[in-house]
Chains A and B, each alone.
Chain A
Amino acid sequence: MSTRVTIDPITRIEGHLRIDLEVEGGTVHKAYSSGTMWRGIEVILQGRDPRDAWVFTQRICGVCTTVHAIASVRSVENALGLEVPLNAQLIRNIIVAAHAQHDHMVHFYHLSALDWVDVVSALKADPARASALAASFTDWPGNSVQQLTAVKEKVAAFVKAGQLGPFTNGYWGHPAMKLPPEVNLLAVAHYLQALDVQRKANQVVAMLGSKTPNIQNLAVGGVANAINLDNPATLNMEKLYAIKSTLEEIQAFITQVYLPDVAAVAGFYPDWLSYGAGVTNYLAVPDLPTDARMTAFDLPGGVIMAGRPGVQQVTSWNDDYLKRNVTESIARSYYDGAWTRGPWEGETVPRYTGDWKPESPAPEKYSWVKAPRLEGKPMQVGPLAQVLVGYLTGHPLTVKYTQAAIAAVKAIHHIDLKPAHLHSTLGRHAARAIRCAMLGELSLKHWGLLAENLGKGDVSTFNPPTFPKGEIRGVGFHEAPRGVLSHWCVIQDGAIKNYQAVVPSTWNAGPRDDKDQPGPYEASLVGNPIADPKLPLEALRTVHSFDPCLACAIHTHDADGAEVSQVKVG
């Protein structure tokens, strides 16, 4: 008898996500991912000035604000063939990098750590032993006996007050929890410190973008930052140096805390280096352009098919292969028809065919999410895609931090990992930490490039756009924290005619397609163990490893469709 486990929506931050699992003999046999991603942006944008589009797209999702703003201006610039002054590229790049670092840290410490860390177990930890353990693999000054004792007391006070605060929904004492008390204590200490570092990353975005979460400084053709190195009202020397020192503080935390923490956790959960691979086709786009014409990039892009080592490199945002081969299928989605089309021809005509009834086979249409495909194939996107592309093509920075992660696991656990272990649930966490460290190094590099260019006397930040008569089309690519984001626009006589956003979570969380090929979430869950269908922690580990921009609740049903339990998870 199979057990059906349903992970169901409760939040509307970006959209709902629901996961249905068929569990047999303690293992997931089939998985279905369905959800509502925000839709209708093209309806709101039709007829508007393309220069205003980014202000609207920034509001698609309150957590991914910056990424939708960046992709939108790039889309219109791409349609116009408009160059962007070097200063503007570099300012955008520093914003992009700081935003992504913020996002990656929040994901690990605040959204997914509770899948692996047992907070209550930290009460059994010996702070002196925890401090000594930490000293064996990192120089971070925040692991003193005194500091760890204070954290332990804080947890004890919360538990005593019967109020675990943000941790109330953890799976305490679940048999799948494996960290020793000392590692749990270190993780809680770093969770607290990460809140502080996350604020610093936000400050960098605010210093350049003038506000978070909704930045104000973008423009089609550049940025609106006024630069005068001696003027206190503009971007000046003092602000530039404040940005630099903040970027350095963030990078210290990432290399001395985040990356080693992921390595420490991973070594205690070696099984999870083999579960959760799923779709091993990967897509990443290049990002962090280093010139006005966008011909050179510091983050690598490429396509990997079926986990094979041969990488088809993507070196340009004008890559014809991508423009011709990205499609979306609506065969299994609540839209009218069953077509597969490129985004420029895409449309959004809802045809809701009813909810999936409990304990019945999956209906033909079961999700509001479309199913993006490349050459007809499902693709996994996200930090893992980018790290694999970089590692396999010998991108020096990717190789450096991938090897650093492998060395950290070896130092802490005496386990030899191979890059092949990255195709897994924990591999996605490791790749995110690796990418975060790469971004830290690159944000400082781009800060240096900006200072150097300003030093030459170039203070230009904006090339004004001119819209031609007739129809033009553009695509704006961005390698966002959750993976490849693309905004596709069609502009007619200077006004928006069509606009489609193909977002990372659509690639990863999308449903089956016209050929019944499962999407990455669906494929990655198959084979995962489920020790207790009432507490399906393992399924959450895999879904969370993709960093879905949403929260969900789990409903577990027995074979008759009666609800056994409901567990809310953040």
Chain B
Amino acid sequence: MARIAVIGIGNVLEGDDALGPTVARTFEAAYAVPADVEVIDAGTPGLDLTAYLAGLEAVVFVDAVKARGGAGELRVYDRAGILDRGPILAMSPHEPGLRESILHAEFQGVAPATILLVGVIPGSIAFGCQLTAAARAAVPVAVARVKAELEALGVPVTPRQPPLPPDLWWERPAG
């Protein structure tokens, strides 16, 4: 049973919306974590996210967020920042999934005590399977932040030697 999860959210067919899955998969390829820490590319599960949250102690979401600032900039939110009604509706393309899943899990009494969102401001969200240059440059920054947040939670994060190539299958060209 997982104790902590890193959950990348986003549609890999929608340009920079792939940031969440890309960061999750890149992190997983570069670092080993203990068996009770799960790294998930969840796609865009909407309310189904509730099922992933149940019983966790802590969760680190990674997602493209709409926020003031330039493409590729990082924004980190805690639970209060995610749930604060004002900015959230404009913040993530995956509303109502993220916020409402947290609320459902809390009402049920199974929500993680620690909830973090590592957000990246996207350049372009339009159909296609490649990140913009700004978003691509943000991937290692976001991966480092995920590592730091896990370590702050007391999770040992070990670099893989050698690192594995991240499985970003959607970026492979046709033919």
Binding site for B on A (CB under 8 A): 10-13, 38-41, 43-48, 55-56, 59-63, 65, 106, 110-111, 154, 158, 165-167, 192, 195-196, 198-199, 202, 212-214, 495, 551, 568, 570
Contacts and interface: CB of A to CB of B under 8 A. Distances in A.
24 contacts: A10-B89, A11-B95, A12-B93, A12-B94, A13-B97, A38-B13, A39-B127, A59-B12, A59-B13, A62-B42, A62-B44, A62-B46, A62-B97, A63-B45, A63-B46, A154-B109, A166-B103, A166-B104, A192-B108, A195-B50, A195-B51, A198-B50, A199-B54, A213-B43
A12, A48, A158, A192, most chain B CB atoms within 10 A: A12
Given A59-B12, A202-B48, A165 B127 contact: no
Contacts of B108: 192, 195-196
B136 to A, nearest CB: 19
A100 B80 CA distance: 34
Contact of A48 (B42, B45, B174): B174
B96 A551 contact: yes
Contacts of A568: 89
A202 B51 contact: yes
Contacts of B106: 165
Interface string B87-112: 00100011111001001101111000
B11 A40 contact: no
Interface of B: 11-13, 41-48, 50-51, 54, 89, 93-97, 100, 103-104, 106-109, 127-129, 169-170, 174-175
Given A59-B12, A62-B46, A165 B96 contact: no
Contacts of A56: 13, 170
B107 A59 contact: no
Contact of A154 (B45, B104, B107): B107
A13 B44 contact: yes
A165 B104 contact: yes
A59 B104 contact: no
A110 B11 contact: no
Contact of A59 (B11, B96, B100): B11
Contacts of A570: 96, 100
Contacts of A110: 47, 104
A44 B107 contact: no
A1 to B, nearest CB: 32
A62 B103 contact: no
A40 B96 contact: no
B65 to A, nearest CB: 13
B122 to A, nearest CB: 12
A192 B54 CA distance: 12
Contacts of B93: 11-12
Nearest to B50: A195
A158 B107 contact: yes
Contacts of A196: 108
A482 to B, nearest CB: 14
A46 B128 CA distance: 12
A198 B104 CA distance: 13
A65 B43 contact: yes
Nearest to A39: B127
Contacts of B54: 195, 199
B127 A55 contact: no
Contacts of A63: 44-48
Across the A-B interface, the 6 shortest Cβ-Cβ residue pairs: A62-B44, A47-B174, A40-B127, A62-B43, A166-B103, A165-B103
A40 to B, nearest CB: 4
Contacts of B50: 195, 198
A48 B171 CA distance: 12
Nearest to A62: B44
Contacts of B94: 11-13, 62
Nearest to B101: A166
B27 to A, nearest CB: 17
Nearest to B128: A44
Contacts of A65: 43
Contact of A111 (B41, B47, B95): B47
Nearest to B94: A13
Contacts of A111: 47
Nearest to A57: B13
B46, B170, B175, most chain A CB atoms within 10 A: B46
A568 B99 CA distance: 14
B107 A192 contact: yes
Given A13-B94, A158-B107, A195-B104, 11 more contacts: A11-B96, A40-B13, A41-B13, A60-B13, A62-B97, A63-B45, A165-B103, A165-B107, A192-B108, A202-B51, A551-B96
A480 to B, nearest CB: 15
A59 B170 contact: yes
A166 B175 contact: no
Nearest to B40: A211
A166 B108 CA distance: 10
